[in-house]
Amino acid sequence: MAKKIFKFISSMRFAICLLILLAICCALGSFVTQNQSFAWYAERYSERTAAWITALQLNDLYHSWWFLGISLFLCCNLLLCNIIRLPQLILRTREAGDPSGIGGAQVQAYAEHVDRPEELFQRLHMPKPRRTELDGQAALFSSAHRAGLWGAWVCHIGILLLIAGFTLGQATHQEYAVYGVAGQTRQIGDTQLFLTIDDFQIDLRRDDTVSQYTSQITVRDLSGKNALSRQASISVNHPATLFGYRFYQNSTGWAARVRVEKGDEALQDEVLCAGEYLPIEDLPDLVIFFHAFYPDLIMDPAGGPRTASGQLNNPGYLYSVYYQNQIVGMNVLTGDETITIDDYTVTFSEPQSYTVIQCKRDRFSFLALVGGLAAMLGLFLAFYLQPKRVWAVSEQTGGWSFHGACPKMGALFRDQFEEAVRAISE
Amino acid sequence: MRQAENTLFTIVMLIYFASMILYFVFIAIKKDRLAGAAALLQTVGLVLHSAAILLRGLAAGRLPLTNQYEFATCFAWGLCLVSLIFIRRFRFPMLGAFAAPVIFLIIGYAAMQSKEIHELMPALRSNWLGVHVSTAIIAYGAFGVSFVLSIIFLIRDRLRDSSFWDRHVPTHEKLDLISYRSVCLGLLFLTFTILTGAIWAERAWGSYWSWDPKETWSLVTWIVYAVYLHLRIRRGWRGKAAAVFAAVGFVCVIFTYIGVNTFLPGIHSYA
């Protein structure tokens, strides 16, 4: 029974089933929006569909136990298949260089008058043939592209490494997002690394579209006895590696200076990014939420705010006020307008861009890269190095018999072979 | 320069159309010379098409590989190039007769897209763009050829009594092998496309694989063709079943290119 299971798991039939299943799952995952809440699915589809989606883990399909299960079975299948095939491959590689395997020739031809049998090998783009003897007859033999026999094997190993690298990377990677304006320093997650944004620039083209985002950063490592510090410039497509972490220019947004005053007394003065909350320290139940910023504010026909350009022509700050978690006001501030709550005044000013920097460490990405390159190499070997063997045997009749084998090219090789034999015997 | 590119594009469309008609006439009146003339016309179309793409690139000041129009016109170019190579390599002019309508359909789709030249967003301003998309064009072109070959394979049985078809269409065994060669070319280039895309995504977005619909469907397409290759190895599946799978693979290619952009927006939505 165990032998049967082993045979089935390592079979090509099982591999084909798994591949088809995997393709169906991947396609399914692309149609179901991933990582949303039950309420989101219920609103979009129906309560019942949402229940099915969450029960079957279709909401996080690529991390579901059954998707991982299929991937695991595929890995087992690839591994077993490669282990089983290894001795056969070594044997076949040896045989491919052995002229005595003439019995395996797929195509034969005989020519009575041939001056230079070596020409056949040239015409078939074979390496220079070596002289040998077959059944007491003088013969020429050449074998080409033996490495092609290993193509599928190398490709499978590559895929295994790729899956292993990706899975291990997913399980162990560390990823943080740090955002802020120039001059701010933030701790990177729970690490002992501190990131200072020295400068942040947005390069605009004449038509106001963004050409590039660039952050100048300094990262300090406080984990050792002596603090180490390194600087880098990062922009989209140009990440930097510092202290084993990769730093990426991720995105940007607007921030503003928010001041809370009571009479003439300044109580709070902070830089707030759009999407952030500011609790009023004097009034614990009161919170200001900075929704969005419009550098060139205009009102659309429906009365909603939007920006006419990226230039700071008419700054507008969309905010809302929460009292005991209930929204009590919402508006857009322009010019010198302020928010007044009892004796308190809240002002928004000095709009500036903030940068979002992604910080990541994936120790296994190199494994995935090596796997990908190995898979490429394997496919190249399998597809473009077609193993072939050619024999030319001097017959007692005075003529030559020619034999060839190139299993992957089948009829196409037969045509080439016959044409070449015709050409040299004419 | 844009005007010249537009004019050239229209001329190329007309040439591809004329070549398609010439192939149809070749089938209708069974004059072998017409196939050669149609292939020659297609070659002229390809040369002018290359010039049109070059002009587009010069006008945009970048590689013209970033939106639906640019990719569609390059897709048609890739299919034309690969089909001409296969026609020459395997001495198979009838392939052109079946490829021509597909080329015309794709370039027709390109003609329906906006030809506006937009500046590139920062993520697209990378040297990887050229490598990633140009390999995709060759891959798609090769899969297009395998699709055409599969169609010929599947309808060949109905045409077997005709000596004309016997003379111009290879045997099932050879058709299967030629289709296999085109799938090999396509799969190798698709793997390279996915790999370069992953390297580029890591640099641009900080993640080399994020299950974006375009990525996912490229993987689905890769798996479908991998199944095709495995099916061919299994006894009894070579031939008709493999041809059906190669055709299904091309449906996945088209879905990856057009369907994903239409129905499944993601981080590749600009493409």
Report residue B121 as tokens: 């967003």
Percent of chain B with pLDDT over 90: 65
Q: A27 vs B216: CB contact, 8 Å cut-off? A: yes
**For range A143-156, the mean pLDDT:** 95
**Whether residue B97 is found in the same domain as residue B192:** no
Q: Residue A169: what pLDDT?
A: 94
**Chain A nearest CA to B19, separation (Å):** 28
By C-alpha distance, the chain B residue nearest A365 is B208
CB contact under 8 A, A376 and B123: no
pLDDT at res. B232:
85
Per the structure, how many domains does chain A have?
4
* Distance, CA of B79 to CA of B98 (rounded, Å): 12
Report residue B158's pLDDT band, with 50, 70 and 90 as the boundaries: confident
Q: Sign (positive/negative) of CA torsion B72, B199, B265, A303?
A: negative
Please indicate whether, in this complex, the C-beta atoms of A19 and B209 are within 8 angstroms of each other. Answer: no
Contact between B211 and A376 using a beta-carbon 8 Å cutoff? no
Q: What is the DSSP string of A303-330?
A: S-EEES-SS-SB-EEEEEEEETTEEEEE
A53 lies in the same domain as A160: yes
Q: Which B residues in the span 207-236 are in contact with A, Cβ-Cβ below 8 Å? A: 207-209, 211, 213, 216-217, 219-220, 223-224, 226-227, 230-231, 233-234
Q: Identify whether residues B106 and B157 lie together within a single domain.
A: no
Indicate if A283 and A309 belong to the same structural domain. yes
What is the per-residue pLDDT for B269?
56
In a domain, B119, yes or no: no
**Model's pTM, two decimal places?**
0.90
Domain boundary among B91, B113, B135: B113
Exposure b/e, A182-211, CB count within 10 A at least 16 = b: bebebebeebebbbbbeebeeeeeeeeebe
Radius of gyration of chain A (CA): 35
Same domain for B141 and B262, yes or no, is yes
Residues B80 and B29 in one domain: yes
Confidence band of B266 (pLDDT split at 50, 70, 90): low
Is the per-residue pLDDT at B238 higher than 80?
no
Q: Are residues A213 and A77 in the same domain?
A: no
Residue B265 has pLDDT above 90, yes or no: no
Does residue A196 sit in the same domain as residue A126?
Answer: no
Do B158 and B89 reside in the same domain of the chain? no
Read off the tokens for B206.
Answer: 């900080």
Q: Which of B92, B221, B228, B230 is the best residue to mutate to test the A interface, defined by the most A CB atoms within 10 Å of its own CB?
A: B230
Instruction: Give the per-residue pLDDT at A420.
Output: 92
Within this chain, do residues B161 and B238 fall inside the same structural domain, yes or no?
Answer: yes
With beta carbons under 8 A apart, name residues in chain B contacting A237.
122-123, 125-126, 128, 200, 203-204
CB contact, 8 Å: B260 with chain A? yes
Strands in A84-227 per DSSP E: 107-111, 130-134, 137-144, 174-180, 185-187, 193-204, 210-221
Tell me how far CA of residue A296 lies from CA of A27, A195, A274, A310, A311, in angstroms: 42, 31, 16, 7, 6
Judgement on whether residues A23 and A159 belong to the same structural domain of the protein: yes
pLDDT, position B161: 57
Cβ neighbours for B38, distance < 8 A, ≥ 6 positions apart = B19, B20, B22, B23, B26, B93, B96, B97, B100
Are residues A197 and A160 both part of a single domain? no
Mutation pick from A204, A237, A355 vs chain B, by most beta carbons of B within 10 Å, is A237
Task: Say yes or no: A291 and A416 in one domain.
Answer: no
Give the pLDDT mean for B249-270.
81
Q: Specify if A35 maps to a domain.
A: yes
- Say whether residue B269 is in contact with chain A using an 8 A CB cutoff: no
User: Does residue B21 have a pLDDT over 90?
Assistant: yes
Last residue of a domain, one of A108, A134, A169: A169
Q: Count of residues for chain B?
A: 271
Backbone torsions φ then ψ of B234, nearest 5 degrees: -70, 135
Asked if A15's CB is within 8 angstroms of B174's CB, the reply is no
**pLDDT value, residue B134:** 93
Q: Which domain holds residue A78?
A: 2-89+154-169
pLDDT value of position B41: 95
Same domain? A192 vs A330: no
How far is B123 from B210, CA to CA, in rounded Å?
A: 15
Question: Which of B113, B141, B156 is where one domain is finished?
Answer: B113
Residues B184 and B232 grouped into a single domain: yes
- Overall average pLDDT of the B211-234 stretch: 92
B213 falls within a domain: yes
Residue type, A412: L
Separation between Cα atoms, residue B196 and residue B184, nearest integer Å: 18
Question: Poorest-confidence range of A1-5, A54-58, B237-241?
Answer: B237-241
Residue B89's closest chain A neighbor by CA?
A: A412
Is A377 a domain residue?
Answer: no
Q: Is residue A364 situated within a structural domain?
A: yes
Could you tell me if residue A291 is inside a domain? Answer: yes
Give A208→chain B minimum CA distance, Å: 10
- B225 and B146 in a common domain: yes
Higher-pLDDT residue of B158 and B106 is B106
Q: What is the mean pLDDT of residues A49-55?
A: 93
- The pLDDT assigned to A3 comes to 84
Residue B264 touches partner A, C-beta closer than 8 Å: yes
In a domain, A7, yes or no: yes
Query: How far is Cα A29 from Cα B213, in angstroms, rounded to an integer?
Result: 9
Of B90, B119, B178, the CB nearest to A205: B119
Q: Are A61 and A25 in contact (CB under 8 A)?
A: yes
Q: What is the pLDDT of residues A313-331, one digit of tens each?
A: 999 999 999 998 899 889 9
Is the pLDDT at A77 greater than 60? The verdict is yes
For residue B120, being part of any structural domain is answered with: no
Residues A365, A241, single domain; the answer is: yes
Residue A85 contacts B, CB cutoff 8 Å: no
Residue A22 has its nearest CB partner, among B205, B223, B230, at B223
A205 at interface of B, judged by CB pairs closer than 8 A:
yes
pLDDT attached to residue A108: 92
- Report if residue B145 sits inside a domain: yes
- CB of A248 less than 8 A from some CB of B: yes
Whether B254 has its CB under 8 Å from any CB of chain A: the answer is no
Q: How confident is the model at residue A24, as a pLDDT? A: 95
Quickly count: other Cβ atoms within 10 Å of residue B153's Cβ. Answer: 25
Where is the domain boundary, B113, B146, B179? B113
Q: How many Cα atoms occupy the beta-carbon half-sphere of A112 within 13 Å?
A: 0
Residue A115's pLDDT is 84
C-alpha to C-alpha distances, A134 to A99, A124, A142, A304, B160, nearest whole angstrom: 8, 21, 13, 90, 43
Q: Tell me if residue A294 falls in helix, strand or coil.
A: strand
Q: Is the pLDDT of residue A198 over 60?
A: yes
Tell me whether A52 touches chain B (CB under 8 Å). no
Lowest mean pLDDT among B42-56, B235-249, B256-270: B256-270
Mutate to test the interface with A, among B138, B207, B253 (most CBs of A within 10 A): B207
State the pLDDT confidence band at A384, using cuts at 50, 70 and 90.
very high
Going by pLDDT thresholds of 50, 70 and 90, the confidence category of residue B267 is low
Nearest CA in chain A to B226: A19
The CATH number linked to A395 is 3.30.310
Q: Which of B119, B216, B227 sits opposite A29 (nearest CB)?
A: B216
State the residue range of the domain holding B141: 125-271
Q: Which of the four pLDDT bands, split at 50, 70 and 90, describes residue A104?
A: confident
Q: Which residue does chain B place closest to A377, by CA atoms?
A: B188
ipTM (interface predicted TM): 0.89
Q: What is the mean pLDDT of residues B146-174?
A: 85
Same-domain check for residues B81 and B130: no
Do B203 and B87 reside in the same domain of the chain? no
Q: Residue A239: which of B121, B203, B213 has the nearest Cβ?
A: B203
pLDDT of residue A6: 87
Of A213, A368, A380, the CB nearest to B208: A368
pLDDT at B118: 85
Contact A346, A326 (CB under 8 A): no
A23/B223 touch (CB, cutoff 8 Å), yes or no: yes
Same domain, yes or no: B50 and B139: no
Residue percentage of chain A with pLDDT more than 70: 100
Average pLDDT, chain A: 91
Q: Which residues of A touch B200 (CB under 8 A)?
A: 237
CB within 8 Å: A383 and B174? no
Q: Is the CB of residue A365 less than 8 Å away from at least one CB of chain B?
A: yes
The answer to whether residues A15 and A81 belong to one domain is: yes
Number of domains present in the structure of chain B:
2
Query: For residue A168, what pLDDT band results from cuts at 50, 70 and 90?
Result: very high
Residue A191 shares a structural domain with residue A229: yes
| A71 lies in the same domain as A117 | no
Quote the pLDDT of residue B237.
72
When pLDDT is averaged across residues A29-37 and rounded to a whole number, the result is: 91
B-chain CB neighbours of A207 within 8 Å are: 119
Tell me which of A141-150, A160-169, B1-10, B12-21 is least confident. Answer: B1-10
Q: Name the token pair of B146.
A: 């395998």
Pick from B119, B195, B230: which is nearest to A372 by CB? B195
- Contact call for A210 and B234, based on CB within 8 A: no
In the prediction, which pLDDT does A295 show? 92
Q: Which residues pair with A393 in a beta bridge?
A: A139, A401
**One domain for residues B48 and B134:** no
In a domain? residue B184: yes
Is the confidence at residue B245, as pLDDT, over 60? Answer: yes
- What percent of chain A has pLDDT above 90? 72
